[in-house]
Amino acid sequence: MALRKIRIEQVNSRDGFEQFARLPFQIYGDRDAWWPPDVHNEVDLLAGRALIAAHLNLCPFAAFSDGRLVARVSAVVNYRYNQHWNEKLGQLIHFEALTGEEDAVAAMLEEALTWLVRHGMQAARSGFAAFLDYPYAIDNYGALPSFLLRGNPDCYHRYFKNARFVTEKGQVDYTAPLTPEIQERYRSMIEAAQAAGVSIKSWRDYGFLAAIDVWTDVTNAAFDRHWGWNPITRAEVRPMLLPLQPTPVADLSMIGVIDGNPVGAVFSVPDLSGQLARVRSGVRLAPERGGGTRGALVNIGVLEAARSRGLARAMAAQSFLAMVQQQMRFAGYTLVLDDNWPSRRTAESLGARVTGNFVTYRREL
């Protein structure tokens, strides 16, 4: 068998960024359903035009085999993350690769890791970075994953283990069936929280822009020591979330208030598979996967002083009941670390069960 000619390039041109951003269309394009990337936003990040880029040193790499693009990854130094955690951790984001490209992927990952070492990093992570990267699926291969999550091919795990990465963290995705019985449980949770002095308002009722700022502040405080998180700013979040004001997000997302002060926040989205997923003509998604019937609670946070009053459960319950009003039959509770037992207990109390598993990888340098 003739050896393939492998070439690894640092990507630094507009055409290169575009080709880099479109590789997922080759990898997932023949699936019945998948979430395509936002090519424009990805190119802006690669080119340093995104707001978050001010906190990053980012270098994209592309692997070619016999002249064909077969894999990609971006090596990133996130200065804000490293300052927050007092670490020298580099991150590998944007990883995608075609099946059967072990040699090309191995060469590309080594180039990216060498770049991180040259920039003073002592370890590398792939599969979790706030607003930049999401973990790798280890089940449900080929099925449409929850919004924002990966539906990667199973060969990705071999690629990372061959590159001497180890599993750093596991995460789970929950789904709750919104049955009449569970809805009654939700109403009881809300009533109990109200009796404890909690008020819950949708982002629409609270005021959408004010709710975005509350979500930013509450999330920064509640997640301050949460593995993998780093602080974000109102200036970054507003342009990302403000366009969602006229959408059902305003009705599904919640703010929790005690004594007039916002102390909790939930960000939830409707089923976006009809708008954002690519679904092959004639394919009907399972209702718990999408097809207009599965909303998702993406993020929930409660300030430490307000915990143990049932606020997280009540906000999630209110969000899920709002999904019922929007004709949804299932609700996702996404994404929870394996060892985040308080959040996992909240999911279970909401009648949710684990329907997806994910991992994040790490390698010491």
Mean pLDDT in residue range 274-292: 91
Q: Please give the backbone phi and psi of residue 145, each rounded to the nearest 5 degrees, phi first.
A: -80, 175
CATH of domain 6-133: 3.40.630.30
171 compared with 286, residue with greater pLDDT: 171
Q: What percent of the chain has pLDDT over 90?
A: 95
Q: Degrees (nearest 5) of the Cα angle 37, 324, 250?
A: 55
pLDDT, tens digit (0-9, with 9 covering 90-100), for 27-58: 999 999 999 999 999 999 999 999 999 999 99
Please state, in angstroms and rounded to a whole number, the distance separating the CA atoms of residues 50 and 236. 9
Specify the 3-state DSSP secondary structure of 68: strand
| Mean pLDDT score, 271-292 | 91
What are 256's two structure tokens?
A: 């929790």
Q: How far apart are CA 354 and CA 332, in angstroms?
A: 10
Distance in angstroms (rounded) separating the CA atoms of residues 149 and 169 = 15
| Region of residue 16 (left: phi > 0; alpha: psi -120 to 50; beta: else) | alpha
Residues 6+ apart with CB under 8 A from 135: 127, 128, 149, 150, 169, 171, 335, 358, 359, 360
Decide if pLDDT at 1 tops 50. Answer: no
Write out pLDDT tens, residues 112-126. 999 999 999 999 999
Instruction: Please give the average per-residue pLDDT across 202-226, as a whole number.
Output: 97
Confidence of residue 333 (pLDDT cuts 50, 70, 90): very high
pLDDT value, residue 2? 55
Sign, CA dihedral 74-45-128-78, equals: positive
Residue 243: count other Cβ atoms within 10 Å of its Cβ.
Answer: 10
Which pLDDT belongs to residue 308?
Answer: 84
Q: Which among 300, 301, 309 is positioned nearest to 194, based on CA atoms? A: 309
Q: Same topology for domains 6-133 and 174-359, yes or no?
A: yes
Q: Which pLDDT does position 3 carry in this prediction? A: 73
Q: What is the DSSP string of 20-50?
A: HHTHHHHHHTTSSEE----HHHHHHHHTT-S
CA 240 to each of CA 24, 224, 256, 335: distance values in angstroms, whole numbers, following the listed order:
23, 21, 22, 19
Mean of pLDDT values over 70-81? 98
Mode of pairing for the β-strands spanning 123-126 and 89-97: parallel
pLDDT category, 292, cuts 50, 70, 90? confident
CATH number of 174-359: 3.40.630.30
Closest alpha carbon to 209 in 237, 248, 247? 237
pLDDT in tens, 222-243: 999 999 999 999 999 999 999 9
Confidence tier at 309 by pLDDT (50, 70, 90)? confident
* Mean pLDDT of the chain, nearest integer: 96
Q: Is the pTM of this model over 0.85?
A: yes
Across the chain, how many H-helices and E-strands are there?
14, 15
Question: 216: helix, coil or strand?
Answer: helix
Q: Over 60: is that where the pLDDT of 190 sits?
A: yes
DSSP single-letter state for residue 129: B
Q: How far apart are CA 113 and CA 21, in angstroms?
A: 21
257: helix, coil or strand? strand
* Residue at 206: amino acid letter: Y
For position 58, what pLDDT does the model report? Answer: 98
Residue 351 has pLDDT above 90, yes or no: yes
Q: Provide the residue ranges of all domains of the chain, joining segments of one domain with +.
A: 6-133, 174-359
Q: What is the percentage of the chain residues whose pLDDT exceeds 70? A: 99
